[in-house]
Structure 1
Amino acid sequence: MSSLRNEGCTLTGALSVTTAVRDAVSIIHGPDGCAHHNFSLLHALQYENDQLVLPSIISSSLRETDIVFGGEEALARVIGRAQERHPGAIFVLTSCVAAAIGDDVSAVCGEVRDIPVMVIPTGGFLGGGFHDGVISALVSLSYLGSTGSPSGMVNLVGEKNLEYEADANFHEVSRLLALLGVHVQLRFVRNCSLADIRKLGSASLNILRDASLSGVGAALSDRFGTPSLPAFPVGFEGTLAFLEAAGRKLGIDSAGAIASEEAYQQQVIRRFADLQGMSVRIREPGSARGPVLAELEELFCFDLQDNGPAPQIPDPLPVGTAGLSRMLHRWRRLCRA
């Protein structure tokens, strides 16, 4: 387990992935409190991001007697209820309580049924946090994918479903890939169906959301033989490097795409010429001086001070040229306020 325990619940991380499959149901094998907390959290965050679809979550509603004598019968009952919704698949996520009492969840889910019932271990009391839940869910759901001849298209792997700019980042990566004449085949896993996931193994390239998903990229490479890029592009130079790396992996000459993007970047830089030489106190995530700030300092000759307007470099970092443009727009508004 790689996550810090204080970053959030393993179960929540996994649910942020499984509930993004439109035609599946997620079962939380645990007390109703776990389901209520996670449903409320996911619904509130999705509502903030203008996604008005309710997460498809059911609880096995473990009671005191189940905790003492075992909750396997409660799990079998709730799987039956989930089947009545006629989903394409059922994902069973274990709570800390279910893991602690030692229920044989795999045996219950392994009984022959008309639809796949997949176990995703998410009892975080043994260690791990939100990010470990995301990784566990992505690796588990990859087994629903099928191999196929390379399609020439790309999968985006591990988008941060609770991130405010998730769709804006998707559109930016799609725009950049279009410069290479390449299209996105699958967002694994965001607003997709089980039929979409079955195409997972036929992409020519996987692009990971960030480097923390390297283990997922390795698992997909081992299973399907698909190469990967380690992260979405960050920074002006990083965006050009992304185009070069994607072209190289796909066997595409990227020179024209890079030239086109360089011209667009110069337009963006000219659009924010009024920020040149501005005195600011820039706040960065973490204490290290990052490459994005260094690049912007060089381009805009910021006068870094201990006082004055304090624009912030967000975490996660802005994606691509469009992400930097949105951030600079926010900086301009703050500095003019």
Structure 2
Amino acid sequence: MRSNPSPSSSSRFEGCTLTGALSVATEVRDAVCVIHGPAGCTHHNFSLLHATSLSNDRPALPRLLSTSLVESDIIFGGEDALETALERALALSPASIFVLSTCIVETIGDDIAAVCAKDRGVPVIPIPTAGFLGGVFETGVKNALAAVASLAPPSSERTLSANLIGEKNLEYGVDENAAEVSRLLKRLGLPVNLRFVRGIRTHDLDRLGAAAVNILREPALGPIGEDLKQRYGTPYIESFPTGLGGTCRFLEEVGRACGIDTLAAVEEERAYQAAMLERFDDIAGSRIRFQSPHPILRGDPEVETICTECADALSLTIDPEGVAVPSPYPPPVGTGGVGRMLHRWRVLIRDKGRG
């Protein structure tokens, strides 16, 4: 194991695979998620998902059921408990059901796929999420995206629109980030076709293959982008836009993928960025230093580039003795994200000045 981790290897420090999968699957609002394992796995994740939803002004409760395995199930097998839980799930009249495994049931060898394969009138889709046998939060996200995509039809009529793929549903500001990407896409005349997966219903997946381009939340989702490209022929952009220059490059990249002339859109965005930066003229010339929110994120070249770019744009001096301002993680999305970052910097600079 490396003793000096970098952001590229930080996934080793990520959390539960099951939680990652649930952050995706529970966003199919007319589905029920059955967690096959002890009740504690469900209780922990229900509490986390509910608290996160409330913090984003979304009071809906996640539709979770547990097989609530006990010692005898672990000794003799839990497939009967899964059958019983699926009957309870069907009583809720879902449009689809996702069955998520836990570490213990993968260890004892329950044949979850065979139980899910039985005809019950609605699709019952297994999602492997046993992190104990290998995998982290990010693994769960990818496995869930692939599982939800399996419900989409094999082909769809193409429209000049974009899908947002793999949003970070547990991050604060997830909807603000989506709104920023949508704002940028509108400069190119592209509406958002589908947020895959956030706040959708099972039948919405019929549109998954209809977009002209897929926008991945981050490069780590490249395998999902490739899968959808092979299935539908849809090109993909590997990440949401970050930073000032990166936002303009994003517009150019989307335009190339869709055959759209981006010259006017990029000029408009640069003017928009200039106007945003003018709002922070009051901190021009201040002395600052960048402070990482966590030791393993120090030296992230993308974040360093964005912070340095903004400092240069505002004539800020980078000084070891300057005011400590946060290096954002994840990087700010679009011009709007940069503006929110600079607002936090201004608050800290002003507070230091008053002190």
Report the TM-score when normalising by structure 2.
Answer: 0.92
Amino acid at match of 1:253: D
CA distance in structure 2 between the partners assigned to 1:326 and 1:287 by the alignment? 22
Superposed, which structure 2 residues align to 1:41-56 within 5 Å? 41-56=48-63
Once the two structures are TM-superposed, the CA of residue 3 in structure 1 deviates from its matched residue by 7.4
**Residues 233 and 320 of structure 1 are in contact (CA less than 8 Å); yes or no, is this contact kept in structure 2?**
yes
Q: What is aligned with 2:4? A: none
CA shift at 1:306, angstroms?
A: 2.4
Mapped contact 1:280–1:303 kept (Cα < 8 A): yes
1:110 pairs with one of 117, 123, 148: 117
Q: Report if the CA contact (8 A) 2:156-2:206 is conserved.
A: no
Indicate the residue corresponding to 1:329 in structure 2: 343
Shift of the alpha carbon at 1:144?
1.2
Q: Which amino acid aligns with 1:83?
A: L
Query: What is residue 34 of structure 2 aligned with on the other side?
Result: 27
Larger deviation, residues 297-306 vs 256-265: 297-306
308, 315, 329: which one aligns with 1:315? 329
Equivalent position of 2:298 in the other structure: 286
For residues 188 and 7 of structure 1, what CA distance do their matches in structure 2 show? 22
4+ long deviations beyond 6 Å: none
- 1:82 is the counterpart of 2:96: no
Residues 92-117 of structure 1: per-residue CA shift (max 9 Å, x gap):
00000110110010111111111000
Equivalent positions of 1:174-323 (< 5 A) are 174-284=182-292, 285-289=297-301, 290-323=304-337
The SS at the match of 2:264 is helix
Letter in 2 for 1:16: S
Aligned to 1:298, what secondary structure does the other structure show?
helix
Aligned to 1:63: 70
Say whether 1:97 aligns with 2:104: yes
Report how many aligned residue pairs link the two structures: 336
Q: Structure 2 CA distance, aligned partners of 1:208 and 1:286? A: 24
Match of 1:160 in 2: 168
d(CA) in 1 for partners of 2:208 and 2:22? 20
How far has the Cα of 1:79 moved from its partner?
Answer: 0.2
Match of 1:12 in 2: 19
Matches within 5 A, 1:114-153: 114-146=121-153, 147-153=155-161
Residues 162 and 92 (structure 1 numbering): CA distance in 2 closer, same or farther, change over 3 Å?
same
Contact 1:3 / 1:128 at 8 angstroms: preserved in 2? no
> Which deviates the most, 65-74 or 295-304?
295-304
Contact 1:3 1:131 in 2 (8 A): no
| TM-score (ref. length: structure 1) | 0.97
How far 1:270 sits from its partner (Å)? Answer: 1.1
Whole-Å separation in 2 of the counterparts to 1:279 and 1:223? 51
SS of residue in 1 equivalent to 2:119? coil
Distance 1:169 1:119 in 2: 30
Measured against aligned partners, the alpha-carbon deviations of 1:28-72 in whole angstroms (never above 9, x if no partner) come to 000001001111111112212222111111000111110000000
In structure 2, C-alpha distance between the alignment counterparts of 1:20 and 1:331, rounded to whole Å: 33
**Could you list the runs of 5+ residues in structure 2 that have no partner in the other structure?**
1-8
Q: Partners in 2 of 1:127 and 1:109 — Cα distance?
A: 22
Paired with 1:39 and 1:62, the residues of 2 have a C-alpha distance of 17
User: Does the Cα contact within 8 Å between 1:159 and 1:189 map onto a contact in 2?
Assistant: yes
Distance 1:286 1:56 in 2: 38
CA contact (8 A) 2:23 2:49 kept: yes
Alpha-carbon distance in 2 for matches of 1:52, 1:334: 32
How far 1:303 moved relative to its partner? 1.8
Change (3 A) 1:3 1:223: farther
